[in-house]
């Protein structure tokens, strides 16, 4: 298991400790979506402290997704995902600097699309890579 996944797994949350790598990635994406949605609400409320906290968490979690990529085995797909995650980090940073929810809407859409595809991977394929 990649080191970043192991670190995430060691958070002490029971559902995370028991999770396989595929489920962990899905949980990371879910936490990103939650933090981005929360940050959008904080921007609307002009709650700068919570906005900063949530966007910082989202950036860290997107970085975890980058760290989880297997650049050797994943080839072009991993490179493209890495670059897409880098773009998302830039967009989240811009949302923070400009105090604007629009870039977050785009990142939420991108993560949602990736998560939908990830969660749609058939169980038999998942098990091949969880060994």
pLDDT digits (tens, 9 = 90+) for 41-59: 999 999 999 999 999 999 9
What pLDDT does residue 127 have? 76
Q: What is the pTM of this model?
A: 0.84
What pLDDT does residue 93 have? 97
What domains, with CATH codes, occur in the chain?
Answer: 20-129 (1.20.120.340)
What pLDDT does residue 9 have? 52
Percent of the chain with pLDDT over 90: 72
Residue 58 to residues 122, 124, 129, Cα–Cα distance (Å): 27, 30, 26
SS3 131: coil
Tell whether the model's pLDDT for residue 1 goes beyond 50: no
Position of tokens 């969660």?
Answer: 119
SS3 10: coil
Q: How far apart are the first and last CA of the chain?
A: 9
Q: What is the mean pLDDT of residues 83-111?
A: 97
Task: Please list the alpha-helical segments (H only) found in the chain.
Answer: 3-9, 14-17, 21-45, 48-68, 71-98, 102-119, 123-129
pLDDT tens-digit map of 10-44 = 555 555 566 788 899 999 999 999 999 999 999 99
């Amino acid at each position: 298991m990649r080191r970043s996944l192991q670190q995430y797994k060691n958070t002490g949350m029971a559902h995370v400790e028991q999770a396989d790598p595929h489920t962990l990635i899905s949980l990371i994406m879910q936490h990103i979506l939650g933090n981005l949605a929360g940050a959008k609400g904080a921007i609307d409320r002009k709650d700068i402290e919570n906005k900063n906290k949530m966007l910082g968490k989202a950036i860290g979690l997107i970085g975890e997704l980058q760290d989880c990529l297997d650049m050797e085995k994943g080839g072009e797909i991993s490179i493209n995902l890495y670059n897409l995650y880098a773009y998302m980090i830039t967009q989240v940073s811009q949302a923070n600097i400009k105090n604007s929810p629009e870039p977050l809407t785009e990142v939420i859409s991108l993560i949602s699309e990736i998560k939908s595809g990830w969660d749609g991977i058939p169980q038999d394929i998942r098990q091949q890579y969880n060994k």
